[in-house]
């Protein structure tokens, strides 16, 4: 089992703390982006969704996806601000190792393998890469 990323304080508290630091440091762009994330967290709480690290991470990942799609110099700069809150992604070698293990334990189709992978490692790897590696390894078996 991969080690989950741990935070000194929960993500919501970390974002609030970094927001205050950016505010005091007059880092307007960073403060604005963190303010948007804080607003999204508050909206989520208003809908009755608890602000666990997992739920806050969903907000950050959604923002990451949007910033990558925008692909402007400003959005790439903003992406740098949220990167510290994202879990480290697995490398290709580790994904191959896990998928090979699943295949050797009897999982023999992409649906089973992707399901098991996401159950254990959700958010820790790019699913397109996992799918590509899985297809490759299944063809070679």
Q: What is the pLDDT of residues 69-105, one digit of tens each?
A: 998 999 999 999 999 998 888 999 999 999 999 999 9
Per-residue pLDDT band for 8 (boundaries 50, 70, 90) equals: low
Q: What is the pLDDT of residues 20-35, one digit of tens each?
A: 999 999 999 999 999 9
- Alpha-carbon 127 to chain mean position: 11
Cα–Cα nearest to 89, from 54, 114, 136, 121: 121
Is residue 87 helix, strand or coil?
A: coil
Residues present in the chain in total: 141
Number of neighbouring beta carbons within 10 Å of residue 23: 14
Helix (H) or strand (E) holding 38: helix 28-46
Q: What is the pLDDT of residues 30-59, one digit of tens each?
A: 999 999 999 999 999 999 999 888 899 999
């Amino acid at each position: 089992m991969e080690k989950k990323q741990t935070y000194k304080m929960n993500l919501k508290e970390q974002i609030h703390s970094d927001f205050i630091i950016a505010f005091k440091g007059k880092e307007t762009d960073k403060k604005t982006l963190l303010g948007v994330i804080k607003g999204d967290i508050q909206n989520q709480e208003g809908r009755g969704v608890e602000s666990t690290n997992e739920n806050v991470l969903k907000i950050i990942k959604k923002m990451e996806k949007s910033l990558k799609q925008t692909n402007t110099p400003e959005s790439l700069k903003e992406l740098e601000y949220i990167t510290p809150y994202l879990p480290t992604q697995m490398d290709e070698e580790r994904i191959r190792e896990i998928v090979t293990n699943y295949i050797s334990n009897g999982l023999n189709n992409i649906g089973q393998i992707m399901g098991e992978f996401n159950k254990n490692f959700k958010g820790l790897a790019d699913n397109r890469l996992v799918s590509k590696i899985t297809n490759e390894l299944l063809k070679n078996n």
